[in-house]
């Protein structure tokens, strides 16, 4: 279970901001995938950027896009010097770290994602997916793991359907609309928009999987210590974005940001916030805190999928919490 940040977070922010007034901005390059920037999973970064939280922290924050080649390439961009930090789904960070990368998570961007199985209008239940083509994300990622669990819960084994691997929710939605896929895994807001257009929303991944940590901000251990102050500033700005999103007084502004950044109508953007917050689903962190129980669950899922050998690694191997702690986040 995630916890709200301590009052120290606000106090440290105020003190640091006062000291940084008038200082030259520090360049921070953030690697992003185009498909993520067009989805809800970029919301904390987009909010922090548009609301001036990075600027307020004295950061010249630059989003470097696109990074082609799939989720593994996000960590590669850290190693080739393209970016200073990036975003990545946890399994790909773990896979690279187990292969020798010194990349570690310094903050959480998204918890417990809600992915949908969305199908052609004539497909009205899971049983009708038997023998059909389903668009999946990278098979080594938690999206595909959770969707397979959802399909299995409804009686569909892996040999009951044909898999088509397509990176990114927008690309999978295009496959569905072209008729090249009978069903696909979609995130928000595209799943809600697709349903509003008459496509069938069959179910959510959260029906079949426990809560887990989804998207994190990684950097390299070998580079981070020399730039600790910069990374602490980033964490504070990210935390301010989460607080802004969660504050109901800013609901209209957040809806506008979602609508503008993803290209969906405001009503769809509002439905996304209802999905997350009308009943608290612990989808978003409170201040970028890393849910170690959620991280452990990803490791278990990877073990079950045969992607990690026994004994399973400890979650602490993949995290450096010093920046969160320095920003007053517990």
Q: Where are the domains of the chain?
A: 7-111+212-326, 116-207
| Interatomic CA distance for residues 264 and 82, integer angstroms | 31
The more confident residue out of 99 and 224 is 99
pLDDT for residue 223: 82
Under CATH, which number does the domain 7-111+212-326 receive?
A: 3.40.190.10
Q: Does domain 116-207 have CATH number 3.40.190.10?
A: yes
pLDDT for residue 7: 42
pLDDT tens-digit readout, 288-311: 999 999 999 999 999 999 999 999
pLDDT for residue 65: 75
- pLDDT band of residue 71 (cuts 50, 70, 90) is confident
pLDDT at 140 over 50: yes
pLDDT for residue 68: 66
Are 7-111+212-326 and 116-207 the same fold in CATH? Answer: yes
The more confident residue out of 199 and 39 is 199
The more confident residue out of 226 and 132 is 132
């Amino acid at each position: 279970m995630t916890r709200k940040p301590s009052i120290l977070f606000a106090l440290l922010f105020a003190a640091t901001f006062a000291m940084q007034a008038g200082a030259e901005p520090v360049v921070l390059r953030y690697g992003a995938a185009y498909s993520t920037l067009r989805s809800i999973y970029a919301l904390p970064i987009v909010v922090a950027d548009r609301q001036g939280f990075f600027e307020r922290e004295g950061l010249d924050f630059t989003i470097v896009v696109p990074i082609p080649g799939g989720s593994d390439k996000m960590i590669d961009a850290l190693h080739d010097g393209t970016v200073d930090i990036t975003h990545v789904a946890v399994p790909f960070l773990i896979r690279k770290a187990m292969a020798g990368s010194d990349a570690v998570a310094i903050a959480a961007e998204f918890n417990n994602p809600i992915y949908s199985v969305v199908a052609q209008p004539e497909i009205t239940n899971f049983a009708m997916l038997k023998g059909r083509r389903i668009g999946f994300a990278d098979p080594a990622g938690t999206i595909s793991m959770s969707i397979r669990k959802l399909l299995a819960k409804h009686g569909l084994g892996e040999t009951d359907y044909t898999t088509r691997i397509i990176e990114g929710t927008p690309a999978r939605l295009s496959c569905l609309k072209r008729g090249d896929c009978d069903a696909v895994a979609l995130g928000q807001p595209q799943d809600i928009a697709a349903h509003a257009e008459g496509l069938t929303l069959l179910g959510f991944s959260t029906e079949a999987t426990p809560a887990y940590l989804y998207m994190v901000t990684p950097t390299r251990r070998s580079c981070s210590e020399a730039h600790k102050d910069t990374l602490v500033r980033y964490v504070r700005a990210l935390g301010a974005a989460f607080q802004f999103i969660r504050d109901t007084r800013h609901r209209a502004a957040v809806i506008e940001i979602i609508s503008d950044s993803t290209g969906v109508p405001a009503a769809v953007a509002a439905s996304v916030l209802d999905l997350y917050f009308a009943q608290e689903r612990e989808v978003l962190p409170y201040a970028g805190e890393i849910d170690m129980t959620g991280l452990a669950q990803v490791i278990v899922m990877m073990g079950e999928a045969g992607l990690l050998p026994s004994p399973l690694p400890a979650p602490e191997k993949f995290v450096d919490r010093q920046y969160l702690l320095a920003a007053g986040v517990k």
